[in-house]
Structure 1
Amino acid sequence: MNYSADSLPPIKLIPIEDTALNRELGVSKRPAKTTAPTDIQWVKVLEFLRSNNLAPNSRKLYERELKRFLGWTQLNYHELRSRHLGQYKQYLMSEVCTDAGKPLSKSSVNASLAAIKSFFKWLTLTYPEIITTNPTQGVKLEKVPLPPAQSLTAEQMQSVWSALELLGETKQRDTALVHILSHGLRAGEIVQLNVGSFDGKLLFLPNTKTNEPRLVPLRSESREVLQEYLRSRSRQGEELNSDSPLMISHHASYKGERLSYHGIYFAIEKIGELAVIEDLHPHQFRHTYATDLLLLGVDPTHARKLTGHQSEKAFRRYTLRSEQEAAIAAYYRAIGEEEVE
């Protein structure tokens, strides 16, 4: 039978609803959203940053330096070798500049390498199936003279105590804060303290920078100041329990909430202005505590335990002053002038 074009039935298009067939043919009823592929290597960096008890400034530094390193190399983690890290160190020293256009200092290079070393140490321990050998083991840091401890003098500490008397609403909180800082705690450690961390005599720090729990004994005056601070909060109607934050904020937007890392820095900065101490920051109290322990004759091993220093080399800066004063005292004893001031 002969058909003409006019005698053929019209063609009817039937939409295909079979999802599996659509997927096979590459057909989609609606445009698919395109998203950037996930950077698997950066995912591990983020996991590392979350799993470590880093202070905000340290976290920013680690994130910046690891991002810089991953931007420099195209190699996967398991392909990296010590020679590649040596090349990266040379890159930092010869090609990377500061915002002012100057080469990085040895301390800055070391800070970058320390961040990378810390990450790969974690990675090889956590994911041995990804990388079995730490490629940073053969990379040495630059030799940098140990910076002196930023200890406060007795006169400066007296100015701090006097400045606390000039505060208003935050006076009791900040007085307790300075007492705690004066026992060598890091700002990041104080943020995590709860009421239950204080047993009336000792502070228990379950989470520290070195991931080792620490007990910190408080002086009697400091114990009384802290206890009175907590009693005053109870009198004001706050229901305290073991999980309540030890230090709370007075900021209008966060009143009654846990005092933050930046809140601690802001409080100490304000005290420094009243005490006329330029650029006063929380870590100076830690330096002062460590130095004073040694001046009091506390064994350096015990002093390191109290401050939570793992590195004997890092703690060395605090022994310099005590050794110098001991040498001066020995000289005067030797010549019979022990009472000379």
Structure 2
Amino acid sequence: MTGYEEWLRQYMEYLQIEKNASSNTIQMYKRDLEEFEQFLQQEVIQSIVHIDMGLVRLYLSQLYDNSLSRRSVSRKLSSLRGFFRFIEREGGIEKNPVMEMHLPKENKYIPQFFYEEEINELFKAAETSTPLGQRNMAILELLYGTGIRVSECAGLDVDRIDFSLSTILVTGKGRKERYVPFGEYAKNALERYLNEGRVQLLNKSGTASSKVFLNNRGHPITPRGIRVVLDKLVKDAAMTIDIHPHKIRHTFATHLLNEGADLRSVQELLGHDHLSSTQIYTHVSKDRLKDVYRNSHPRARK
């Protein structure tokens, strides 16, 4: 369609330069907008000025027909809204065809997390007699001990660790930096890995690296590589549960809140821009709620 690809290119530059969006965010927007372009080609839309609200509604209905979740449709609509807002601001169209459309109501989402017994089984499964074993233990301790994202873990540099203050300097979404504390277990695992296992892994590559976590060839590990590590730990622990990298981050937040941490502090530790992103972790077990009620309400105590 005439002009669409050029507007898309400009919008990607705007997100990268002016909005300082992360590469993952930019790729997500680009993918959503390229899918919409394919829809426009199917509908034989010749110009961007011919896109109206009815056409966008047709696109959304097709997404639902393809069994996309409300959450996914909402995200794609948000991508379109931002894109057309940019084009309208730059004078490419007179009116944003998506601006007045409401996001579909999302299904309630409760993040999955490990119970304490389950996370302890993972730690027991991590052997530390080999360089890779020491690395795996350090990864697990750091993810659970700090709640950082897997991408943040993979991108962590050695000089961003301050052992005297027990903190790491993390570069999160939008290249925003934040300090995150870690505890004694993570500290011990990191020190052993850096002094022993990492040195051996680095010798395999023959090249220097600033990254903390390396793969078996001595090169920086990728987020996908960390997923493989976690899958192996689950397998070694003979656990039948599903695991994904964010599940440990969910566990970190859930355990903090269940032990009395305040929501604002958890928000800062996780690097969330908005408190609403952190509020999904306010679910607690029924036993915890019963204990709080019994210990706090005058009529609940005998």
- TM above 0.5, yes or no, is yes
Per the TM alignment, residue 138 of structure 1 is displaced from its structure 2 partner at its CA by 3.6
CA deviation after TM superposition for structure 1 residue 97, in Å: 5.7
Query: 2:213: which partner in 1?
Result: 247
Change (3 A) 1:76 1:152: farther
Runs of 5+ in structure 2 lacking a partner? none
Equivalent-residue separation in structure 1 for 2:127 and 2:113 (angstroms): 22
Q: CA deviation at 1:300?
A: 0.5
- Give the deviation of 1:295 after TM superposition: 1.3
Counterpart residue number, 2:278: 315
| Partner residue of 1:221 out of 174, 178, 185 | 185
> Are the counterparts in 1 of residues 257 and 263 from structure 2 also a CA contact under 8 Å?
yes
Amino acid at match of 1:145: N
Quote the residue 1:203 is aligned against: 168
What amino acid does structure 2 have at the position aligned with 1:247?
Answer: F
Q: Aligned partner of 2:77: which letter?
A: L
1-structure distance, mates of 2:184, 2:87: 45
* Matched position secondary structure for 2:169: strand
Q: Which amino acid aligns with 1:68?
A: E
Instruction: Please tell me whether Structure 1 or Structure 2 has the larger radius of gyration of its CA atoms.
Output: 1
What is the SS of the residue equivalent to 1:226? helix
Question: Take 1:94 and 1:220, find their aligned partners in 2: how far apart are those partners?
Answer: 52
2:45 equivalent to 1:63: no
Residue in 2 aligned with 1:269? 231
Q: Deviations over 1:283-309 (max 9, x none)?
A: 101000111111121111111001112
Q: Which residue, out of 21, 43, 53, partners 2:9?
A: 43
Contact 2:113 / 2:247 at 8 angstroms: preserved in 1? yes
Residue number in structure 2 paired with 1:286 = 249
User: CA separation in 2, counterparts of 1:60 and 1:210?
Assistant: 13
Instruction: Assess if the C-alpha contact under 8 Å between 1:210 and 1:308 holds in 2.
Output: no
Match runs of 1:69-84 below 5 Å? 69-73=36-40, 74=45, 79=49, 84=52
CA RMSD of superposed structures (Å): 3.5
User: Which AA in structure 1 matches 2:192?
Assistant: E
- Structure 2 vs 1, CA of residues 219 and 117 (structure 1 numbering), >3 Å: closer, same or farther? farther
- How far the C-alpha of 1:147 sits from its partner, in A, is 0.9
Letter in 2 for 1:265: R
**1:95 maps to which of 51, 62, 65:** 62
Aligned match of 1:191: 154
The 5 Å alignment of 1:17-28 reads none
CA contact (8 A) 2:71 2:107 kept: no
Tell me the amino acid that sits aligned with residue 232 of structure 2: K
Classify 1:88/1:300 alpha carbon distance in 2 versus 1 (closer, same or farther; 3 Å). farther
Cα separation, 2, equivalents of 1:61 and 1:237 = 33
Cα distance in 2 for residues equivalent to 1:119 and 1:227: 46
Q: Does structure 1 retain, via aligned residues, the 8 Å contact 2:209–2:219?
A: no
Deviation at 1:181, TM superposition (A): 1.1
Q: Does 1:302 align with 2:268?
A: no
Residue 136 of structure 1 and its aligned partner are, at CA, apart by 4.8
Residue-by-residue CA offset, 1:159-198 (whole Å, 9 max, x unaligned): 1111112885521001111111112111111122110111
| Number of residues of Structure 1 aligned to a counterpart in Structure 2 | 284
2:127 to 161, 165, 181: 165
Paired AA for residue 227 in structure 1:
E
CA displacement 1:4-27 (0-9 Å, x = unmatched): xxxxxxxxxxxxxxxxxxxxxxxx
User: Which of residues 12, 32, 52 is equivalent to 2:21?
Assistant: 52
In the alignment, the residues of structure 2 paired with residue 131 and residue 203 of structure 1 have an alpha-carbon distance, to the nearest angstrom, of 46
- CA gap of 1:187–1:215, structure 2 versus 1, over 3 A, is same
The alpha-carbon distance between structure 1 residues 179 and 80, as it changes in their structure 2 partners (threshold 3 A), is: farther
Deviation at 1:60, TM superposition (A): 5.6
Counterpart in the other structure of 1:332: 294
Q: Which structure carries more helix by proportion?
A: 2
Report Cα offsets for 1:202-224 as digits up to 9, x if no partner. Answer: 11013x12442111100122112
Separation (CA, whole Å) in 2 of partners of 1:93 and 1:148: 25
CA contact (8 A) 1:205 1:214 kept: yes
The one-character-per-residue Cα deviations of 1:78-129 (angstroms, maximum 9, x if unpaired) are x588xx3x4355224322367xxx43321221121233345567x479x857
Which ranges in structure 1 are unaligned for 5 or more consecutive residues?
1-36
